[in-house]
Structure 1
């Protein structure tokens, strides 16, 4: 069998996103959003949360509140319509203001099973806050968390705020209703809220640090990135990718490295290794087939590249992640 026919018959990583790099990375990291609790408060109230260890989001549907992360001297005021995403690396306080003593959130909320908890000693419709978390796969999650800032604050005056506010209102409607599927609908809406938050960050963050997030926000590079993500098995050349971007080979290579932090073919290799890691963790597919699926014509060439990137052989990686070596 020729190399060409073998490659044609080999299983390919399923590009369910049709080569959309943003969707591919969200899928690879297994980003999963959930609404954890709503707060309807008035008067004096303050809750202290421990470090969540996950991405944490807040959406202010009504009124105003104050948020401060541990280790930071100053807090931030959230106004009606604002949405915030925290990295989850620090504990935080959310309150009516900086002067109210904070109570342990877990103790306060543990005895309150209702989806929207009423707090405070005043009009409890003054402030309505929706909160939730985004879970990521422990192995691939850093692909996302390492390119995000400690916090993202989308203000109500932002061009993207209208769509976020609509989603928040729909989640609140689901949370307050007793219709079948309310929890499932809330989770789907929370996922959409997370995606819109990231889009708002891309649209308003200015110059991002080098990395895939900056690269996918560059319209000139998007056609090349779609080719890489749509067919990672193919042996792409810089010339082919540059042609798709409508640029000279040299200009493309310089622009790509400045945006992505890696040369085009290095990015391709990195993406292939992310796909290979997922296959090794989650399937019993023979290593030779995984190698072919990510563009390698031999298992030995794949193993060498994988060990250079991951620090261990494919077999060792698979075993350490709970699968038998095949």
Structure 2
């Protein structure tokens, strides 16, 4: 798997949810904070995004996407000054549309929803995202994302056999296309941080190798050779863009992978040790305890609750 896919798969929990909502002005919705991430799509009409940081309102048009990266509370409204109604959540975690009188004014159709994410071990490719991402619909841009949105809107509007299975799959795809679109846009503007790392051929090659085979005893020299750079030049470039040296990132990813396997599977500890590059269960236990403050077995028995940091 590639870096972005891995980053998402290791923190995903449960199923994503969404609801299609028809609004007639005047209206205003305040969405509560989430433990995961939220998204809002304008299918028809227009509205305003009221950001979580009290920044200036952002005008949204048909086809625009707003991704609330870290689950902050935000609001959408027909006008920046519209009164806001708090949105509630039903038992299935789908956003419950608020009933509004059919007053005169423009109609807006929204898809609003959420992803359930475990933020305890957030990959930096996700951690460095801003509080919210606005992806305006532009001709010739984000074509794959726009196609997924069209399919999702059609499934929500015309429920057919298989819709219940199709919607979560489309939502999963949409999350990846949102992230891809954001990082492609960022890479076009700046070559720093993870946008730069994913766009840099040498660094991205090394990242793919680490994610494809974290159990391999990689050396900086080997990774640099595959990346087409000398050991020193590769180490400098990787550290500058990723934020940590190559082998430090390798260890971090091994431990993140191990944590995910312990939480989401009943894979034996010896097998997890092998999959994450440790020659013995003892070595794996020691490395895991150093990282998380407890042994892998204890971590699994406690349901993935990490030990508190020591001040």
TM-score normalised to structure 1 length: 0.81
Give the secondary structure class of the aligned counterpart of 1:220.
helix
CA separation in 2, counterparts of 1:208 and 1:148? 15
Question: How far has the Cα of 1:78 moved from its partner?
Answer: 0.9
Give the secondary structure class of the aligned counterpart of 2:18.
strand
Give the secondary structure class of the aligned counterpart of 1:276.
helix
1:215 equivalent to 2:197? Answer yes
Within the candidate set 172, 189, 210, 2:170 is matched to 189
Which of 1 and 2 has greater Rg?
Answer: 1
CA RMSD of aligned residues (A): 2.9
CA separation in 1, counterparts of 2:224 and 2:232? 8
CA separation in 2, counterparts of 1:152 and 1:284? 36
Within the candidate set 129, 145, 151, 1:164 is matched to 145
Query: Is residue 25–residue 106 contact of structure 2 (8 Å, CA) maintained in 1?
Result: no
Query: Is residue 44–residue 121 contact of structure 1 (8 Å, CA) maintained in 2?
Result: no
Q: Which runs of 5+ in 2 are unaligned?
A: 306-311
Question: How far has the Cα of 1:121 moved from its partner?
Answer: 3.6
After TM superposition, the structure 1 stretch with the greater mean CA deviation from structure 2, 291-300 or 32-41, is 32-41
Query: Is residue 155–residue 161 contact of structure 1 (8 Å, CA) maintained in 2?
Result: no
CA separation in 1, counterparts of 2:88 and 2:192? 36
Structure 1 runs (4+) deviating above 6 angstroms are 113-118
Query: Is residue 65–residue 127 contact of structure 1 (8 Å, CA) maintained in 2?
Result: yes
CA separation in 2, counterparts of 1:225 and 1:297? 22
Question: How far has the Cα of 1:96 moved from its partner?
Answer: 0.2
Greater relative contact order (Cα 8 A, min sep 6): structure 1 or 2?
1
Say if 1:140 and 1:124 are closer, same or farther in 2 by CA, change over 3 A: farther
Within the candidate set 179, 204, 224, 2:206 is matched to 224
Query: Is residue 95–residue 113 contact of structure 2 (8 Å, CA) maintained in 1?
Result: no
Query: Is residue 145–residue 177 contact of structure 2 (8 Å, CA) maintained in 1?
Result: yes
Query: Is residue 56–residue 132 contact of structure 1 (8 Å, CA) maintained in 2?
Result: yes
Residue in structure 2 matched with residue 39 of structure 1 by the alignment: 21
Say if 1:292 and 1:150 are closer, same or farther in 2 by CA, change over 3 A: same
Say if 1:160 and 1:118 are closer, same or farther in 2 by CA, change over 3 A: farther
Q: Kindly tell me the number of residue pairs found equivalent between the two proteins.
A: 301
Say if 1:97 and 1:243 are closer, same or farther in 2 by CA, change over 3 A: same
Question: How far has the Cα of 1:250 moved from its partner?
Answer: 0.8
Residue in structure 1 matched with residue 309 of structure 2 by the alignment: none
